[in-house]
Amino acid sequence: MTQPSKEVLKKESEDFIHLKIWDTYYYSSTLLRKKMEGNIPAALDKNKKYKVLDYGCGVRPYEYVFNGFAESYTGVDVGDNPHADILIEPEARLPFNDGEFDIGLSSQVLEHVENTDSYLKECHMLLKPGGLLFLSTHGTWQYHSHPVDVQRWTSYGLKRLITGYGFDITGFIPILGQLALTSQLRLTFYYSFVKEIFRPLKILYYPLSMMYQLKMKIEDLITPQRVKERDSAYYLVIAKKK
């Protein structure tokens, strides 16, 4: 089987996070991207080079965030993923030494992991003492299987989970409050309706989606931060190995 070129792989990564304004997940995806871009570099030392492990790398959408910081960047995934440097079987031990990496990145992976215990133990073992884990996952979201969708977390539950595996949480960033999320869920339903049931209405969906992107932005702006910290669609956790 012919592997895609580097240009094709790069475009897939860029397209994954740079959506069109009429795309269903434009606002929520853009918000997540901006939180990654703003919070990850702020936690790093610009005078230091890091060995980065992207555990469940997908299309490596946030690799560019580590530009200028990474000594190396290693993507690991399951299945047939041409973006991954190393492919493993589910729940398999990663082929690295304990304490080999300075940074672990887990972006929108944990909700798909069936054995959370094994995954987080690997994250902890592979990091050096003082190593950083950047982990984003869902608080509230609709079911989406890639290949399976397993779980969601409350803000308290996610903090408790991460600290239970030998990490100190140094940052906890909520992304997309519940008021805006209700609009996101409605828009997703409308998209499924015109895609699967009544395709002739698809031409009307795009202006509707653009209106909803603005609606979500306004709703998120008026939601108090303390409310978003309690209930959000995504969370970005920054944690340090003890």
Q: In CATH, what number is assigned to the domain containing residue 130? A: 3.40.50.150
User: Cα 194 vs. chain centroid, distance in angstroms?
Assistant: 27
Evaluate whether residue 204 is within a structural domain.
no
Strand segments (E) across the chain: 50-55, 70-78, 86-88, 101-107, 127-138, 167-177, 232-241
Q: Which residue has the tokens 């969370």?
A: 235
pLDDT above 70: residue 1 = no
Contact yes or no for 170/239 (Cβ under 8 A): yes
Residue 197 domain flag:
no
DSSP letter for 206, please.
H
Residue of 94, 36, 56 lying closest to 238 (CA atoms):
36
Residue 4: predicted pLDDT: 85
Strand order in the sheet with 167-177: 86-88, 70-78, 50-55, 101-107, 127-138, 232-241, 167-177
Q: How many CB atoms lie within 10 A of CB 142?
A: 13
pLDDT tens digits for range 12-47: 999 999 999 999 999 999 999 999 999 999 999 999
pLDDT tens profile 97-115:
999 999 999 999 999 999 9
- In this structure, is residue 25 part of a structural domain? no
Residue 216 belongs to some domain of the structure: no
Tell me if 22 is assigned to some domain: no
Mean predicted confidence (pLDDT) in 188-201: 87
pLDDT band at 61 (very low <50, low <70, confident <90, very high): very high
What would the pLDDT profile of 134-149 be if each residue is shown by its tens digit?
999 999 999 988 788 9
Q: What percent of the chain has pLDDT over 90?
A: 87
Cα–Cα distance list, 88 to 75, 79, 93, 138, 156 (Å): 11, 7, 8, 24, 31
pLDDT at 168: 98
Amino acid at 232: S
* Residue 80: inside a domain: yes
Task: Judge whether 18 and 61 are in contact, CB under 8 Å.
Answer: no
Inside any domain, residue 91: yes
- What is the residue range of 232's domain? 6-15+31-176+228-241
Per-residue exposure over 199-221, b if at least 16 CB sit within 10 Å of its own CB, e if not? eeeeeebeeebeebbebbeebbe
Number of domains in the chain: 1
Read off the pLDDT of each residue in 47-52 and give the average, rounded to a whole number: 97
Place 74 in a pLDDT band, splitting at 50, 70 and 90: very high
State the DSSP code for 89.
Answer: -
Confidence of residue 198 (pLDDT cuts 50, 70, 90): confident
- Looking at the domain assignment, is residue 112 inside a domain? yes
* pLDDT above 80 for 153: yes
CA distance readout (Å), 26 to 19, 32, 175, 219: 5, 10, 14, 15
Q: Which tokens belong to 34?
A: 């901006």
- Amino acid type, 4: P
